[in-house]
Amino acid sequence: MHLNHDPAAPASAEIRFEDFLAVDIRVGTVISAEDFPKARKPAFILTIDFGPVIGRKRSSAQITENYKLEDLPGLQVAAVVNFPPRQIGPMMSEVLTLGFPDEHGHVVLVSPGKDVPNGGRLF
């Protein structure tokens, strides 16, 4: 499946509310970020704390254009936590960290406007 990141693209096909509820999007705090030189495209490996129920998960994120490694720890981000893990080069990405494209098509992470408890589910 290919996602269209063009802001001028029409909306996707209509889905049922139950389909939306099946996607578990949670908030977590980045506890560490490291360079991922073995990725095909420039990326970082994020370790994100989703609280006591979900715990810590890792994610490969292609965010090198808009973020520095040292600025990521402490940042709260949104991620899909119920996709199957995906092999990205030598690492297993356990969650899909969410973002929007900036004017150049580079990822800007989704983050709540205020601090919220880790593990909170998007509704």
CATH number, domain with residue 57: 2.40.50.140
Question: pLDDT for 27-78, tens place per residue?
Answer: 999 999 999 999 999 999 999 999 999 999 999 999 999 999 999 999 999 9
Sequence-separated (6 or more) residues with CB below 8 Å from residue 56:
31, 47, 48, 49, 50
Residue 3 lies in a domain: no
CA distance 49 to 118: 7
Residue 1's pLDDT band (cuts 50, 70, 90): very low
> How much is the pLDDT for 9?
82
CA distance 26 to 110: 11
Residue 119 lies in a domain: no
Residue 13 lies in a domain: no
